[in-house]
Amino acid sequence: MRKLYLLGLVLSTFIINSYVADNTPFDNPADSAKITHFYPNPATSYINFTFDKTVDKNYTLQVYNFIGRKMNDIRINDSKLTINLDDNYFRGLYVYQLRDQSGRIVESGKFQVNK
């Protein structure tokens, strides 16, 4: 009975994944990635972001804590950006959003702070 349950679970997972993969309307994220690296993760006192060469000065990087409070809103001036994690950054997860000039989210992700 256990083998039958496991076989059913694997088969249903395969069917669901193949359906989602075939019908997903999104572009390939590797083609549209604007943030090439962010490090160190987990961060302690600072975090660095490096951007693709297509990111211009009209883009902004916003950082939110896990409950949704905006921590930073920084305009991109260079291909590398360093954010100093001052006393307002506590231990936990943070979400970053790269936005274009119209305010549309181009890329987002998360990083962890360990202090």
Q: Assign residue 59 the CATH number of its domain.
A: 2.60.40.1220
**Is 53 inside a domain boundary?**
yes
Q: pLDDT digit of tens for each residue in the chain (115 aa)?
A: 665 554 455 445 544 544 443 443 444 444 566 999 999 999 999 999 999 988 988 999 999 999 999 999 999 999 999 999 999 999 999 999 999 999 999 999 999 999 8
- What is the per-residue pLDDT for 80? 95
In a domain, 73, yes or no: yes
Mark 21-55 as b/e (b = at least 16 C-beta within 10 Å).
eeeeeeeeeeeeebbeebeeeebeeebebebeeeb
Give a yes or no: residue 89 inside a domain.
Answer: yes
Closest Cα to residue 33, out of 82, 106, 110?
A: 106
**Helices and strands in the chain: count of H runs, count of E runs:** 1, 7
Domain count, the chain: 1
Q: How many other C-beta atoms are found inside a 10 Å radius of the C-beta of residue 111?
A: 18
Supply the range of the domain harboring residue 41. 29-113
Token code pair at residue 74: 């920084």
- The answer to whether position 45 is within a domain reads yes
Per-residue pLDDT, 30: 43
Residue 24 belongs to a domain: no
Domain-embedded: residue 9:
no
Cβ atoms of residues 60 and 99 within 8 Å = yes
Structural domain includes residue 55 = yes
| Number of CB atoms found within 10 A of residue 2's CB | 6
22, part of any domain: no
